[in-house]
Structure 1
Amino acid sequence: MVYGGKPSTGCYLCRKRKIKCDEERPGCRNCATYGRPCPGYRPDAIFRNETRKVERLAKKDTNCSSSSSKNNTPSSQALMVADRSLDRSASVLNLHRIADSTWEERAICYFFDQYTVPGDNEEGTGHLEYLPPLYARAAEVQSTVKGSPAACLRWAVDATALMTLANFSNAPPLMIKARQGYGRALRGLRDALASPDTAIMDETFASVLLLSLYEDISGERNGLFSSHTAGFEFLMKLRGEGQLDHQRGRDMFNFAYAHTYVEILALGDKPRHDIDWVLGLLDSNDPVERLMLAASKIRQLFLSMQTAPSPPDLATVEKWIEAGRKSDLELSQWPLHLPDRWLPLVVYSAKGETLMVYKTIGNAVIWNYYRAARVMLQQCLFNLNRTYLSIKNKTRKPDDPSQAIPALDEASLREVVQEMTTDICRSIPFSLSDVDELGRLAGPIDGKPVRAAQAYGLIWPLWYVLSCGMPTEAQFNQIREVLWSIGSTLGIKLALILAREAERMRNESLASAPAAGPSGR
């Protein structure tokens, strides 16, 4: 006799469909994804004898595989080999095995559980919370129509979900399926973009979003650059003001806008389309959008520096320094206007460590992006100050014994960088659900397991600190280990790439014995 477990306590529709139910109350999210109202749950768990059923299913699978092998095409044989290999995968994969459901269905359930996080009722930010209903709506549309954004979205979600489960479970055969789906989604996206009417649809924009997420999960970016950033910029401009008329459009826009900022601020990329027109449409009363407005000033400063003649003259450098100081002042005032529920709480762990906790994980993500932006701006100001001093010294008369006076206090810049870095490190245990909102260790019963979406929100802020800041040796090792853990445990391969790149940069920096302070851009 074996315990029926969650399949027997799931809702009626999930048990009928023979998929794993998340058992959310009052209705499960799988039903919402499927586009049906949740019919509810059986009141009590039961015990039943599954031994004969399992033996029968195993024997059936073996007979079917052997009897059909002679007539299979190479592609179908590959999929059958993949399924048989998956059956022999590590035991962790068996946690997601449900009899009589396809790997695609299992992957979708796991992906939505890991990457879709609803916001709370007090303006807490979620992550991809609009995706399950959008995916369910796409399921009702004929998915074989050429150029259908619904078909493109379904293929993009399926491919990303398969890669998510493949990486987490270390199942290479699933990766083959995922890459096949990714290619199908790219072809579907190309068809959807061929018409202005379908190009501006939410399903098309969400498809680009999912394909960029696929790149990060699979670790298949073009170096550190995403191949979908240009698509984000093009679609944001094409969709115009109407995309901000509803919450789903604003959420997708915020994701895409942050994605492009990563490329510009952290990697030095240049925008392909002007999207500054949207700044006048952002709500300065919203904490996230007010931070976007403040960060846009940094973006404008960086672009001005990238497009200016080289080397710049003293007047230009002074103008940049003044613009940077104003941007930093605006950023420093961002926390002053936050509601109390957004403010972090400083607590002490059982070991006496100082930690930072928040009302929601989403708030922690936004705070860490804020800190990372300030770190990058301090580094920019530090480099501008060095450029200013270099020009001043070159123009000083030979008989003038005085030294050039710096435009900025570099000690203050370092102090801000160290404060932001320390606060990010103190936020890591909460961001990864190692502690709860009171700083208590999360136990195996009452603790919430970390979702991949939480770790995904940590990756770029941690990278900013490693690449632009001045972490101590202990902080560098802590952040590097967290990135390795995110990449190896949760299967977000981008984290492994960034951890390796940070190590390479640090080794080069140590080998060249740089002066104290942040490294140059």
Structure 2
Amino acid sequence: MVYCGRSRGCYLCRKRKIKCDEALPECGNCRIYGRPCPGYRLESIFRNETSKVEQLVKKSGALPHGSQSGGRRDSIIPSPSVSPIADSTWEERAACYFFDQYTSGEGDDEAISYLSFLPSLYAVCRDKRPHNPTKTTLRLAVDATALMTLSSHINAPPLALRAREYYGSALRGLREALATQTQAVKDETLATMVLLALFEDIAGERNGLASSHAAGFELLMKLRGEGQLGNAQGRDLFHFAYTHTHVEILALREKPRYDTDWIVESLNGEDPVARLILIASKLSQLFLATSSLQAATSTLLNTDTISQLTVLLLTCRQIDLELTSWTQDLPERWLPLVIYADKSTAKEPLITYHHLSIASVWTYYRAVHIVTHVITAELRRTLAAATGRFEPLDEPGSPTPANIMKMIADICRSIPFCVGDVDIMGNPTTAPSSFSSSSSEAKPRARAFSVYSMIWPLWYILSSGLATPSQEDQIRNCLGRIGSVLGIKLALILAENASNQRNSQISIMDPLATNAGNGIGRLD
């Protein structure tokens, strides 16, 4: 007799081998699929394993002394039986896995909501009566993204093939919905676009580095207006769409196609995520103004241009102060923890957080802060070339090497917690062999949605040329694990592309490294 474990998942979830929330009177997975929940097993169950042991012993040809190879089956105590359960489809298995990895529910111990409404919205969309085009399209998008997620996780090409079929159907439905404004502004339409963007990143099928859905996100945010911020579902969708597009503006130096900053101004400034989006929006505007002015100064330099450069530099410093203030106004549970995990080693302490979702926001914050310093350095360099005057590095808002290197170091010190290798106290959550930073096949224990938001900030650091070789190795290894083990193929593409992009990135080393007589230090 053997003890069958402590899990009390319902029989159907256990048969599917998926996580069960053990809710009563029925679990969440069964509720999503509209199937009757078969219930839960007892707290303790002992199963008779005699027949299994006998079969294994017979195979090995080493029966115990006194046993006979043709033992009577009626002498074996029968195992407890349960009612037969219809097996689940691959679409159902994939959807359950996808929701577990890419959505956060109310019961999850997460500080930030991430598409938490999607499982319930998908459950409604599965009801095909009456026919609703936007709901049908959303259902197809969920099935496509879920199948691709599961295919990447278990390396099952047939599932990827089926996922692409659903993706094509969902894409056609999305185009039809965008043709009519009444359909375009619905939550189901924006949610479909969110899912197709996820599909693109999980499959690693972007055309270059820019997302093919960025323009669509900007259009829908503009059409939906301020009303989309009136409920949690609309705000959740807006946060994803805005972050998805503005990460590319800051990292890839893309230009927005539609003005959506007026919507950002309606966000609740008391919320840490909303406040960070507000600051990032100001930085995007500054970046565009800086790019246009720098293009003009290459051919024309006059008093007005110098005056504009001075104003932009002051604006950049103001943004830097707001970013610093963001860290000072956070609630206590948002503050990072410095953990000395192993005092016997000379390694730097780790940085952990109360929630993985907070850790991903801090990674984004630090990357935005570094971008601010890069823009500040570019403005200082351009202004110095125009006036012949160089500011010392200890001026307020100046991008000193120490500040930049500290932010990069903090990102790297946070990586073990961000991918779930250590807990909040810095204790390893994986076996020693997989905890090693050199193990690219160790499965991150964090859920996919928390590491998905880290990909672009990590790529920016890797491609900027600001990190040390050991930090670059750590970041590249992290991206490799996210891509190969969690199945987000975009991470693999960015890890390989970082060195190519480095030549096109404007390095902060140039404005910080000039003649010693100008009072400028060098970032070594």
Q: Give the TM-score taking structure 1 as reference length.
A: 0.80
Determine which of 488, 494, 499 is the counterpart of 2:490: 494
Structure-2 residue corresponding to 1:107: 94
Aligned residues: 457
User: What pairs up with 1:151-300 in 2 under 5 angstroms?
Assistant: 151-300=136-285
Structure-2 residue corresponding to 1:420: 407
User: 3-state SS of the aligned residue for 1:126?
Assistant: coil
- 1:515–1:244 CA distance, 2 compared to 1 (3 A): closer
Structure-2 residue corresponding to 1:367: 362
- 1:300, 1:238 → 2: CA distance? 20
- 1:508–1:209 CA distance, 2 compared to 1 (3 A): closer
- 1:192–1:99 CA distance, 2 compared to 1 (3 A): same
Contact 1:378 / 1:416 at 8 angstroms: preserved in 2? no
One-letter code aligned to 1:453: F
Query: In the alignment, does 2:374 pair up with 1:379?
Result: yes
Aligned-residue Cα RMSD (Å) equals: 3.3
- 2:430, 2:266 → 1: CA distance? 44
Which segment drifts farther, 414-423 or 252-261?
Answer: 414-423
Contact 1:3 / 1:48 at 8 angstroms: preserved in 2? no
Structure-2 residue corresponding to 1:41: 40
- 1:121, 1:109 → 2: CA distance? 15
Structure-1 residue corresponding to 2:122: 135
Give identity over the alignment, percent.
50
C-alpha deviation, 1:126, in angstroms: 3.0
- 1:346, 1:324 → 2: CA distance? 29
Structure-1 residue corresponding to 2:75: none
One-letter code aligned to 2:202: I
- 1:373, 1:276 → 2: CA distance? 17
Structure-1 residue corresponding to 2:463: 467
- 1:327–1:469 CA distance, 2 compared to 1 (3 A): farther
Contact 2:444 / 2:481 at 8 angstroms: preserved in 1? no
Per-residue Cα deviation, 1:301-339 (whole angstroms, up to 9, x for no partner): 012123445226322221211111111111111011111
C-alpha deviation, 1:135, in angstroms: 0.7
- 2:110, 2:95 → 1: CA distance? 27
- 1:488–1:138 CA distance, 2 compared to 1 (3 A): same
- 1:322, 1:515 → 2: CA distance? 21
Structure-1 residue corresponding to 2:453: 457
Structure-2 residue corresponding to 1:26: 23
C-alpha deviation, 1:272, in angstroms: 1.3
Contact 2:351 / 2:410 at 8 angstroms: preserved in 1? yes
- 2:3, 2:177 → 1: CA distance? 48
- 1:120–1:107 CA distance, 2 compared to 1 (3 A): closer
- 1:491–1:121 CA distance, 2 compared to 1 (3 A): closer
Q: Give the TM-score taking structure 2 as reference length.
A: 0.79
Structure 1 stretches of 4+ moved >4 Å: 1-6, 12-15, 35-40, 48-52, 119-123, 407-412, 506-509, 514-519
Determine which of 347, 352, 360 is the counterpart of 1:357: 352
Contact 1:470 / 1:517 at 8 angstroms: preserved in 2? no
One-letter code aligned to 1:474: S
C-alpha deviation, 1:121, in angstroms: 8.6
- 1:448–1:174 CA distance, 2 compared to 1 (3 A): closer
Contact 1:189 / 1:207 at 8 angstroms: preserved in 2? yes
Structure-1 residue corresponding to 2:113: 126
C-alpha deviation, 1:407, in angstroms: 7.1
Contact 1:385 / 1:408 at 8 angstroms: preserved in 2? no
- 1:459, 1:517 → 2: CA distance? 27
One-letter code aligned to 1:326: Q
C-alpha deviation, 1:244, in angstroms: 1.1
Contact 1:110 / 1:165 at 8 angstroms: preserved in 2? yes
User: 3-state SS of the aligned residue for 1:438?
Assistant: coil
Q: Which runs of 5 or more structure 2 residues have no equivalent in the other structure?
A: 53-84, 433-442, 514-521
- 2:229, 2:446 → 1: CA distance? 31
User: 3-state SS of the aligned residue for 1:310?
Assistant: helix
Contact 1:378 / 1:414 at 8 angstroms: preserved in 2? no
- 1:129, 1:46 → 2: CA distance? 37
Query: In the alignment, does 2:314 pair up with 1:322?
Result: yes
One-letter code aligned to 1:334: W
One-letter code aligned to 1:201: K
- 1:207, 1:50 → 2: CA distance? 51
- 1:122–1:342 CA distance, 2 compared to 1 (3 A): farther
Per-residue Cα deviation, 1:48-68 (whole angstroms, up to 9, x for no partner): 78999xxxxxxxxxxxxxxxx
- 1:389–1:35 CA distance, 2 compared to 1 (3 A): farther
Per-residue Cα deviation, 1:458-496 (whole angstroms, up to 9, x for no partner): 211111212336111111111011111111111111101
C-alpha deviation, 1:343, in angstroms: 0.5
Structure-2 residue corresponding to 1:503: 499
Structure richer in helix, relative to its length: 1
C-alpha deviation, 1:154, in angstroms: 0.8
C-alpha deviation, 1:517, in angstroms: 5.3
Larger gyration radius, structure 1 or structure 2: 2
C-alpha deviation, 1:497, in angstroms: 0.9
- 1:448, 1:221 → 2: CA distance? 24
Query: In the alignment, does 2:384 pair up with 1:389?
Result: yes
Structure-1 residue corresponding to 2:439: none
Q: Which runs of 5 or more structure 1 residues have no equivalent in the other structure?
A: 53-97, 394-403
One-letter code aligned to 1:104: E
- 1:482–1:476 CA distance, 2 compared to 1 (3 A): same
- 1:150–1:320 CA distance, 2 compared to 1 (3 A): same
C-alpha deviation, 1:358, in angstroms: 0.6
